[in-house]
């Protein structure tokens, strides 16, 4: 099965507030994206491809409500807390934190964990606390992964090496995999590889050979888990990524990187079609 993931980050923020949203008002944004894409995605068999959209929390309920009866779209959240409610236990004392049970109750079926932006945030907090243990971020993410699976969510677990880590990329990825997936039901997890060193304006993305090399290594280390390209599935690399046998899909974020930069549902559909070779 192929996996097409969509990480909508904070693309809901209007342009007048410094964001990139010009497609719909804030209160309609989540439902708008689902409504504008789900019908055309029905052209693909759910046995062949999985579509998951990760929304900011404010849009989860509207997005779930916009799903039609036979929608091919699954709704996911952007991270969960490492602890959760439990019968005869903590009944909800988690101010500011979204637990996996809360996400499940809202209608989510998946969560993205370990994105490079989340890793960077956690590392910064630990650094402020004077903690230099390199495995600490991974252990926190592992708790999140296990909490998500306990609540019945599937997980897109992101790994990747920075520019400073590129020379020892195998060691870095192995550590992230072993720590993050410790005691985890791996059948509930898909791996997203993020070449952190290549993400951002003006940087050169990895070529087919590099992606193949890394994807093959991840499958070797994990015993054949599904791996998707997390460095940005987009119009100009969709066909190349589709030709890489060891990659099982991709993660889309922005669809337009020039002019009116932003996410546009019609361009998302064009990327999906290009990757899945409908055009």
- Judge contact between 196 and 163, C-beta under 8 A: yes
Of 97, 94, 92, 95, nearest in space to 77 by CA? 97
Full domain range(s) for residue 168: 2-275
Residue with the larger pLDDT of the pair 133 and 93: 93
CATH classification of the domain holding 271: 3.20.20.70
pLDDT at site 219: 98
Q: Is 194 a catalytic residue?
A: yes
217 band by pLDDT with thresholds 50, 70 and 90: very high
Number of domains forming the structure of the chain: 1
pLDDT at site 199: 85
Q: How far apart are CA 264 and CA 253, in angstroms?
A: 10
Q: What is the pLDDT of residues 2-15, one digit of tens each?
A: 999 999 999 999 99
pLDDT at site 202: 74
Q: Which of 50, 144, 161, 194 is catalytic?
A: 194
* Chain center to CA of 243: 21
pLDDT over 90 (residue 90): yes
pLDDT over 80 (residue 279): no
**What's the whole-number mean pLDDT along residues 85-113?**
97
The rounded mean pLDDT for the chain is 96
Q: Is 115 a catalytic residue?
A: yes
Record the pTM.
Answer: 0.97
Q: Which of 115, 118, 144, 161 is catalytic?
A: 115
Q: E strands along the chain, which residues? A: 2-7, 49-55, 73-77, 110-113, 154-159, 189-193, 227-229, 249-252
Looking at 70-74, 173-177, 185-189, 204-208, which range is the least confident one? 204-208
pLDDT over 80 (residue 50): yes
Q: Which helix (H) or strand (E) holds 256?
A: none
**What's the whole-number mean pLDDT along residues 25-38?**
98
């Amino acid at each position: 099965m192929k996996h097409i993931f969509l990480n909508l980050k904070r693309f809901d923020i209007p342009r007048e507030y410094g964001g990139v949203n010009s497609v719909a008002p804030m209160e309609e944004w989540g439902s708008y994206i689902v409504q504008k894409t789900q019908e055309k995605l029905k052209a693909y068999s759910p046995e062949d491809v999985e579509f998951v959209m990760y929304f900011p929390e404010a849009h989860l309920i509207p997005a779930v409500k916009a799903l039609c009866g036979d929608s091919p779209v699954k709704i996911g959240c952007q991270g969960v807390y490492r602890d959760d409610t439990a019968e005869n236990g903590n009944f909800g004392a988690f101010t500011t934190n979204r637990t996996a049970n809360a996400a499940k109750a809202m209608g989510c079926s998946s969560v993205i964990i370990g994105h490079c932006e989340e890793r960077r945030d956690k590392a910064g907090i630990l650094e402020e606390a004077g903690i230099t243990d390199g495995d600490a971020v991974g252990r926190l993410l592992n708790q999140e992964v296990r909490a998500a699976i306990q609540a019945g969510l599937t997980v897109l677990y992101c790994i990747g090496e920075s520019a400073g880590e590129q020379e020892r990329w195998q060691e870095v990825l192995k550590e992230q995999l072993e720590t993050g997936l410790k005691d985890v039901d791996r059948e509930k997890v898909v791996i997203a590889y993020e070449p952190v060193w290549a993400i951002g304006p003006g940087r050169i993305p990895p070529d087919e050979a590099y992606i193949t090399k890394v994807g093959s290594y991840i499958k070797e280390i994990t015993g054949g888990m599904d791996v998707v390209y997390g460095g940005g599935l987009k119009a100009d690399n969709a066909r190349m990524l589709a030709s890489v046998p060891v990659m099982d899909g991709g993660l889309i974020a922005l669809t337009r990187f020039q002019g009116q930069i932003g996410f546009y549902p019609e361009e998302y559909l064009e990327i999906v079609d290009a990757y899945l070779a409908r055009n």
